Amino acid sequence: MNQLRNTKIIATIGPATNTREKILELAEAGVDIFRFNFSHSDLDLYSKLIKDINEINEEYDHTLGILADLQGPKIRIGNIENEKFRLKDGDIVIISSDNKLSDKTNIHISYPGLEEDVKKGDKVFIDDGKIVLRIITDKDDGEITAKVISGGLVTPRKGVNFPDTKMNLPSLTEKDLKDLEFILHQPVNWIALSFVRNDKNVRDLHKIIRKHKHTAKIIAKIEKPEAVKNIKKILKHSDAIMIARGDLGVEIPIEELPGTQKYLIETSIKKSKVVIVATQMMESMINNSTPTRAEVIDVANAVLQGADAVMLSGETAMGHHPLEVVNIMDKILKGAEKSFTPPKNRPKPEPKCSTFTSDIICFNAAKISNEVNAKAIVGLTVSGYTAFKVSSFRPTAPIYIFSKVRSILSTLNLVRGVRGFYYNKNTNTEETHINLANILKEKNLIKEGDIIVHTGSMPVFKKQRTNLIRIANIE
């Protein structure tokens, strides 16, 4: 049997991949989730491509997932007079939050309330920190004036970061709310919330999703120091987090980024939440046909730390080698997984939690599978809860989940080690276990003599929380 990959691949759709044919190629190469970036949204095109993905799922028996990534309150420089200008070290500039054209003496950015939030001494980073300024006037001085510490070329729409400033921008902008009206009428599985600062940001999005009676789960993008500080509360209300290292690497000292990534992954696993590592994973392959050695190690390190998924952005959205980058990432992930050691600090059931007994079953199913060298953990689910819990224990065996809810299977395609299969028969527990084992045998995922661990609930027809573990020998 071919080695199955546990770590999932997210690929961003863009000009290089925005056709049905390209999406199918990427799916066959190993993409599990397709990301639509709503910073650059063409709603008519996105609607067509989402339909294409669902048709591919039905036609080819795939479980491809769909991720809608909201832009959030991204601060950018607006339009520029003469399209560009250069700032030199020592230059003095005025920064304001209006819609005028920017030039080398006046920089206008999309930050309503800027004058109320910044203070003397705050740093300002432009274009992912390539250009650095420092505020040199107090906010009650009228104009916000800054001195250029490290200059460079400024072009339109470049991002601006204020790592020292406590921002009061809303987590959901007018554009986000407009995009959500579209997204929540589409069969998307995940919604990523940008620039999360606290758990309230996530709860606000939850209310909107519930109002639309949508089943999409939430990914909190960790891009601010405040989010790292509040991570445990954010995880309580999120289904996943994304370590978005672009903005996060600008907002915190760069030397702290590796340790912060490790901390966020470990904390997510302990809380049984999905964790994604994103940004610049294989960025050199936007133009080159092979990655750098540093990129290979970076991708592998995410696997070794236990991440559920890694994400490709520009590499598949606008790169020259989208198919090659997925093929190479697939190989790197499989290679790194051979050296993966499950974390010592695995999640533990919380006695006061309403799901305590179910959690014990899930964690012990994973533990038993390791001890008996099971070739698979097999479960039946309606909500997907069992898959999230079993996966968070990071068992050695692959997790095969069956459900009659196709959208759940696509959602679970983001979860480490989980593969989903459609199953809609209503029989007793014994017949169900035999049927599921036979399906896996037909797909050459298990064979005669293998040991597998079943999880489920009895009686089957009641569809209760997981309350059963069973070890089976395949005949």
C-alpha 64/C-alpha 49 separation (Å) is: 12
Nearest of 22, 3, 21, 2 to residue 11 by alpha carbon: 22
**Residues identified as active-site:** 35, 76, 221, 279
C-alpha 440/C-alpha 173 separation (Å) is: 46
Nearest of 112, 80, 74, 83 to residue 93 by alpha carbon: 80
Nearest of 218, 150, 149 to residue 183 by alpha carbon: 218
Q: For 375, left (φ over 0), alpha (ψ -120 to 50), or beta?
A: alpha
The answer, yes or no, to whether the previous bond of 15 is cis (omega within 30 of 0) is no
Nearest of 362, 372, 439, 437 to residue 393 by alpha carbon: 362
Beta bridge partners of 276: 242, 309
* DSSP per position, 58-91: HHHT---EEEEE---S--BB--BGGG-EEE-TT-
Burial class (CB in 10 A: 0-12, 13-18, 19+), 272: buried
Cβ distance 372 to 396 under 8 Å? no
Residue 461, number of CB atoms within 10 A of its CB: 11
List, in order, residues 6 or more apart from 294 with CB less than 8 Å away: none
